[in-house]
C-alpha cells in the first residue's frame, strides 16, 4: 500500500516556505521548484547521505535505479494500449519540428506532452480522465506531415474523441472493465468474464492465497479467456530482461546474504512469472531487516485495476535516514499495544503482530507508478497472509516530504479554515501531525486486523471497493490514535491533544471541501484515496448531526466546518474503524458497497462550485511531482566503477526525452 500525497498534507507542509526559482549554485541555494503547467508543479529533491555510502553501496543504489528505469515503458503500456504510440509520435514532433514554436497551438501541444510524461499516459494520474488537447486535429495533422511522423489512425483519433475517456472506471452502475481504458484487459473483456475466470482458480494452499492476476493481461482469444503473463519471454519480456540484467548486478553487490536471497527470488519471478515465487520473494524481502539500502521493484499496487487484481509496475530506491528512523522506530516496537487497544472487535485483532518495521528513508530514484508523481509513505507486502506471518515494512519518504516542505507557499489554509485559532494550531503542529498520521497509517493501520478463517482476500470479497476501504481503515487507525496520551509516553509529541485537533480539523476540511479542487464541477469521486477521505469525513459528519458534533457554518457567504467535540469525534472514528474492519474480516461486499456508494462517491454540487470559486485566486497547482536526480558513475578503462556522483537536473522535458532515448525497452504495440 502507498500513501498518496493528500491536499491536506500539501497545505500543511507548503504553508510557510518561499518558492525558490533561481538556478542551483550551491547546496544552500538548491531550487526545489522547477516549473508549473496545467494543474501540475514540477519539483526536485535532494539525496542526502549518498556521499557517505561505501562504493559497493553506491553501486547497489545505481543498479537498482537502472532496474527501475528499465521498466518505465511498462507503466505507459499498462495505463493504455496507445500510450507508447502517442508519446513517441509527439516526442518526435517535439524534437524535430522546425516551424513556429511561439503559437498557442504549439504551447498547448507542449503542455499536452508534458502531461503525458507526468501521468505515464494520456489519462490524468489522479482523476483518471482523458486529457483534452488544447490544439486541433488539423494542427496535429500539419505537424505530423511536416516532421514526417507516423501516427496510426485509431491512436490519432482517440486524442480528440470521447472513446476510452476513463482510465479506471469505478462507477458500479457500469461495467467496471469495459468502462476502463486501462490495458490490463482486452478491449472486449467484460467484468463478468473476469469474475467467471477467477472463480475457477484455486490456490494450492488456501491459507496462503496466491495473488492471481497480479502480473498478467487478460484477453479473449478464439472465444476463450486467456492470461498473457508479464515475464521474460512473455508479455513485456524486452523490458523485463533489462530489469533482470540490472537486478543480477545488484545481487552481486548485495549488503548481506538475506538481501541477495531476495534479489535471487525476484529475478526468478521475473524469469518465470510464477506467483508462488513472488510470494517467496515477498517473504524474503520482508525478512530482510538489515542493511542501509532498500527498494521496491515489481508489479505492486492494484489501484489501477477496477477489479483489484493487477499490479502496476513500480520502482523506488531508498537509503535509510538513520536519525529519523531511530525516532520513529518506537511505533513498530509497540505495534502490539496499538493492536490490543484498538476499538475493533477482539475477534478481528491479531494476537501477535509480527515484524512490523518503520523507517524514514531518502529516495535515490523512482520509476513507473512512483514517478513523476510519488507517494510519501509505503507499506508492503500487500498479501495479508504474509503480513500476518512475516510482518511488513513501512517507510516514510523523508526527502520527498522535505522537498514539498521547501517548494512553495499557499494561502489555502487561511481561506478554508474556520478560525484564526485553527490556523494558528495548524502552523504550530501541522507538520508533525501529518508525519505522525502518515507513520500510524503505514505502520499500524495497514498492519492491523485479520481476516476471518475461510474468507477470501479483499480483492475477491470486496472487489472494486477493496482499495478505498483499506485506505479508509488505515487512515482511521491514525486518526483514532493521534490524540492518545500514549504518543506522549512514547516521546513522539509533547501535546497529543493538539496533534489530534490539527489532524481532525484538517481531515474534515479536506474530506468535505478542499480535495474537491481536484475535480471538475459535476464529477463524481473515482480515485480510491479521495473516496476514502470523503467517506470518513461524510460518515462522521452525518452520524454527529444529532448533537451538532461537526457544525456546517456559513460566514461571509462562505462555508466552513467547525468541530465542536473532538473527544466525541474520536469515538466516531473508532466506530467507523470497527465497522470497516468487520467488513474486511467478514468479506461483506454489500456493506462495503453501501458504505462507499453512500458516503464516498457523490459530491455536494453547490459546495463544490463554491470551493472552486474560492480556489481561483490561488496559483499553486494542486498536484506535484518530481524530476529525478541522476547517478553518474566514473568508470576506468577496464569498465570498473571508481565512484558515483549525484547530479540534479532542472529541466523536466529534457529528462523525459533522455529517458525516452535511454530506456525505450518496449515496442509501441505489445
Quick one: pLDDT at residue 3?
A: 58
520: left (phi over 0), alpha (psi -120 to 50) or beta: beta
How many other CB atoms are found less than 10 A from the CB of residue 202?
10
**Percent of the chain beyond pLDDT 90?**
83
User: pLDDT grade, residue 490 (50/70/90)?
Assistant: very high
Higher pLDDT, 200 or 8: 200
DSSP 444-507: IITT---PPTT---HHHHTGGGHHHHHHHHHHHHHHHHTT-THHHHTTS-S-HHHHHHHHHHHH
Quick one: pLDDT at residue 410?
A: 57
pLDDT in tens, 461-489: 999 999 999 999 999 999 999 999 999 99
Quick one: pLDDT at residue 394?
A: 86
Measure the CA–CA gap between 291 and 60, rounded to whole angstroms: 11
CA atoms within 13 A on the CB side of 104: 4
pLDDT beyond 50 at 24: no
Quick one: pLDDT at residue 408?
A: 63
Measure the CA–CA gap between 274 and 237, rounded to whole angstroms: 14
Quick one: pLDDT at residue 154?
A: 97
Cell digits of residue 495? 501535546
Please state the rounded mean pLDDT for residues 511-528.
92
- CA nearest neighbour of 392 among 447, 473, 314, 316: 447
Cell digits of residue 218? 487478460
Q: Say if residues 367 and 71 touch (Cβ distance below 8 Å).
A: yes
Quick one: pLDDT at residue 20?
A: 30
DSSP 140-173: HHHHHHHTT----HHHHHHHHSSTT-BSS---TT
Q: Which contiguous run of DSSP H or E holds residue 641?
A: strand 641-647
C-alpha torsion angle, residues 135, 136, 139, 141 (rounded to 10): 130
Mean pLDDT, the chain, integer: 92
Cell digits of residue 321? 535516514
- CA nearest neighbour of 374 among 649, 68, 170: 68
Measure the CA–CA gap between 343 and 345, rounded to whole angstroms: 7
Cell digits of residue 464? 472494486
pLDDT in tens, 130-166: 999 999 999 999 999 999 999 999 999 999 999 999 9
Quick one: pLDDT at residue 409?
A: 57
Cell digits of residue 518? 481536484
C-alpha torsion angle, residues 487, 493, 498, 502 (rounded to 10): -90
Q: Where are the alpha helices (DSSP H) in 71-136?
A: 72-79, 83-96, 104-119
Q: Say if residues 284 and 263 touch (Cβ distance below 8 Å).
A: no
Quick one: pLDDT at residue 173?
A: 84
pLDDT in tens, 631-645: 999 999 999 999 999
- CA nearest neighbour of 485 among 493, 496, 474, 477: 496
Tell me the whole-structure pTM to 2 decimals: 0.83
pLDDT beyond 60 at 589: yes
User: pLDDT grade, residue 324 (50/70/90)?
Assistant: confident
User: pLDDT grade, residue 355 (50/70/90)?
Assistant: low
pLDDT in tens, 496-509: 999 999 999 999 99
Measure the CA–CA gap between 90 and 155, rounded to whole angstroms: 12
pLDDT beyond 90 at 14: no
Measure the CA–CA gap between 225 and 217, rounded to whole angstroms: 10
How many other CB atoms are found less than 10 A from the CB of residue 240?
26
Quick one: pLDDT at residue 27?
A: 42
The phi, psi pair for 329, rounded to 5°, reads -60, -20
Q: Say if residues 394 and 357 touch (Cβ distance below 8 Å).
A: yes
Q: Residues with Cβ < 8 Å from 288, sequence gap 6 or more?
A: 256, 258, 259, 261, 262, 294
Q: Which contiguous run of DSSP H or E holds residue 37?
A: strand 33-37
pLDDT in tens, 240-256: 999 999 999 999 999 99
pLDDT in tens, 371-400: 999 998 898 999 999 998 999 998 889 899
Angle between helices 55-70 and 237-252 (to 10 degrees): 170
Long-range contacts of 259-266 (CB under 8 A, 24+ apart): 259/288, 259/290, 259/291, 261/288, 262/288, 266/297, 266/298
Per DSSP, the three-state class of 662 is helix
pLDDT beyond 90 at 171: no
Measure the CA–CA gap between 382 and 374, rounded to whole angstroms: 18
Please state the rounded mean pLDDT for residues 324-349.
90
Instruction: Report domain extents, the chain.
Output: 2-23+31-48+321-625, 83-121+131-164
Measure the CA–CA gap between 603 and 534, rounded to whole angstroms: 9
Measure the CA–CA gap between 318 and 625, rounded to whole angstroms: 17
The distance of Cα 283 from the centroid of its chain, to the nearest Å, equals: 22
pLDDT beyond 60 at 9: no
Quick one: pLDDT at residue 325?
A: 77
The phi, psi pair for 109, rounded to 5°, reads -65, -40
Q: Say if residues 647 and 638 touch (Cβ distance below 8 Å).
A: no
Strand partners, 42: 35, 625
pLDDT in tens, 598-626: 999 999 999 999 999 999 988 888 899 99
pLDDT beyond 90 at 307: yes
C-alpha torsion angle, residues 317, 322, 327, 329 (rounded to 10): 60
Q: Residues with Cβ < 8 Å from 212, sequence gap 6 or more?
A: 198, 201, 203, 275, 309
pLDDT in tens, 264-303: 999 999 999 999 999 999 999 999 999 999 999 999 999 9
How many other CB atoms are found less than 10 A from the CB of residue 179?
17
Quick one: pLDDT at residue 16?
A: 29
Distances, alpha carbon 240 to alpha carbons 439, 558, 577, in Å = 33, 53, 40
Helix %, strand %, coil % for the chain, to 5?
50, 15, 35
Higher pLDDT, 459 or 539: 539
Cell digits of residue 97? 519540428
pLDDT beyond 80 at 21: no
- CA nearest neighbour of 549 among 573, 530, 533, 577: 573
Amino acid at each position: 500500500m502507498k500513501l498518496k500525497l493528500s491536499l491536506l498534507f500539501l497545505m500543511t507542509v507548503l504553508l510557510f516556505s518561499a518558492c525558490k526559482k533561481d538556478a542551483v549554485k550551491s547546496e544552500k541555494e538548491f531550487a526545489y521548484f522547477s516549473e508549473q503547467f496545467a494543474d501540475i508543479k514540477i519539483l526536485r529533491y535532494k539525496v542526502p547521505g549518498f556521499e557517505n555510502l561505501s562504493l559497493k553501496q553506491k553501486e547497489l543504489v545505481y543498479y537498482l535505479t537502472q532496474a527501475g528505469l528499465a521498466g518505465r515503458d511498462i507503466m505507459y503500456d499498462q495505463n493504455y494500449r496507445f500510450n507508447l504510440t502517442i508519446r513517441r509520435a509527439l516526442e518526435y514532433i517535439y524534437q524535430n519540428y522546425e516551424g513556429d514554436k511561439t503559437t498557442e497551438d504549439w504551447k498547448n501541444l507542449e503542455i499536452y506532452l508534458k502531461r503525458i510524461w507526468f501521468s505515464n499516459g494520456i489519462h490524468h494520474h489522479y482523476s483518471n480522465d482523458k486529457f483534452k488537447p488544447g490544439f486541433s486535429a488539423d494542427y496535429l495533422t500539419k505537424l505530423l506531415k511536416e516532421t514526417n511522423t507516423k501516427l496510426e489512425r485509431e491512436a490519432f483519433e482517440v486524442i480528440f474523441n470521447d472513446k476510452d475517456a476513463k482510465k479506471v472506471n469505478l462507477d458500479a452502475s457500469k461495467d467496471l472493465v469495459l468502462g476502463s481504458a486501462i490495458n490490463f484487459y482486452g478491449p472486449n473483456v467484460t467484468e463478468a468474464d473476469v469474475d467467471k475466470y477467477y472463480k475457477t482458480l484455486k490456490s494450492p494452499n488456501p491459507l496462503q492465497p496466491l495473488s492471481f492476476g497480479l502480473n498478467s493481461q487478460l484477453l479473449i482469444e478464439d472465444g476463450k479467456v486467456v492470461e498473457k503473463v508479464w515475464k521474460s519471454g512473455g508479455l513485456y519480456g524486452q523490458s523485463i530482461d533489462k530489469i533482470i540484467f540490472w537486478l543480477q548486478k545488484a545481487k552481486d553487490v548485495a549488503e548481506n546474504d538475506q538481501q541477495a536471497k531476495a534479489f535471487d527470488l525476484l529475478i526468478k519471478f521475473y524469469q518465470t512469472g510464477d506467483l508462488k515465487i513472488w510470494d517467496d520473494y515477498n517473504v524474503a524481502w520482508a525478512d530482510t531487516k538489515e542493511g542501509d539500502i532498500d527498494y521496491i521493484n515489481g508489479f505492486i499496487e492494484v489501484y489501477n485495476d477496477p477489479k483489484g487484481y493487477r499490479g502496476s509496475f513500480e520502482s523506488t530506491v531508498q537509503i535509510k535516514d538513520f536519525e529519523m528512523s531511530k525516532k520513529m522506530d518506537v511505533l513498530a516496537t509497540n505495534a502490539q499495544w496499538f493492536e490490543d487497544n484498538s476499538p475493533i472487535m477482539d475477534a478481528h485483532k491479531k494476537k501477535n503482530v509480527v515484524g512490523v518495521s518503520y523507517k524514514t528513508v531518502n529516495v535515490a530514484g523512482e520509476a513507473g507508478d512512483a514517478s513523476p508523481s510519488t507517494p510519501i509513505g509505503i507499506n508492503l507486502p500487500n498479501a495479508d497472509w504474509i503480513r500476518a506471518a512475516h510482518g511488513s515494512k513501512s517507510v516514510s519518504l523523508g526527502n520527498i516530504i522535505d522537498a514539498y516542505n521547501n517548494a512553495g507557499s499557499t494561502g489555502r489554509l487561511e481561506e478554508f479554515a474556520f478560525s484564526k485559532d485553527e490556523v494558528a494550531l495548524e502552523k504550530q503542529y501541522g507538520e508533525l501531525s501529518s508525519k505522525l498520521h502518515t507513520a500510524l497509517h503505514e505502520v499500524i493501520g495497514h498492519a492491523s486486523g485479520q481476516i476471518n478463517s475461510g474468507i477470501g482476500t479483499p480483492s475477491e470479497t470486496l472487489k472494486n471497493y477493496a482499495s478505498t476501504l483499506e485506505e479508509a481503515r488505515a487512515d482511521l487507525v491514525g486518526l483514532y490514535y493521534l490524540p492518545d496520551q500514549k504518543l506522549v509516553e512514547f516521546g513522539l509529541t509533547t501535546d497529543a491533544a493538539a496533534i489530534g485537533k490539527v489532524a481532525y480539523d484538517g481531515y474534515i476540511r479536506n474530506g468535505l471541501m478542499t480535495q474537491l479542487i481536484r475535480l471538475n464541477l459535476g464529477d463524481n469521486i473515482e480515485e480510491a484515496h479521495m473516496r476514502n477521505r470523503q467517506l470518513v469525513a461524510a460518515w462522521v459528519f452525518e452520524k454527529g448531526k444529532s448533537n451538532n458534533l461537526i457544525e456546517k457554518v456559513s460566514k461571509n457567504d462562505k462555508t466552513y466546518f467547525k468541530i465542536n467535540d473532538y473527544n466525541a469525534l474520536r469515538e466516531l472514528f473508532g466506530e467507523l474503524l470497527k465497522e470497516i474492519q468487520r467488513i474486511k474480516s467478514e468479506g461483506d461486499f454489500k456493506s462495503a458497497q453501501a458504505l462507499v456508494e453512500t458516503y464516498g462517491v457523490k459530491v455536494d454540487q453547490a459546495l463544490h462550485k463554491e470551493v472552486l470559486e474560492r480556489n481561483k485566486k490561488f496559483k499553486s497547482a494542486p498536484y506535484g511531482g518530481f524530476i529525478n536526480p541522476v547517478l553518474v558513475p566514473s568508470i576506468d578503462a577496464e569498465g570498473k566503477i571508481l565512484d558515483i556522483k549525484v547530479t540534479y537536473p532542472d529541466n523536466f522535458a529534457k529528462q523525459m526525452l533522455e529517458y525516452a532515448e535511454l530506456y525505450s525497452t518496449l515496442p509501441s504495440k505489445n
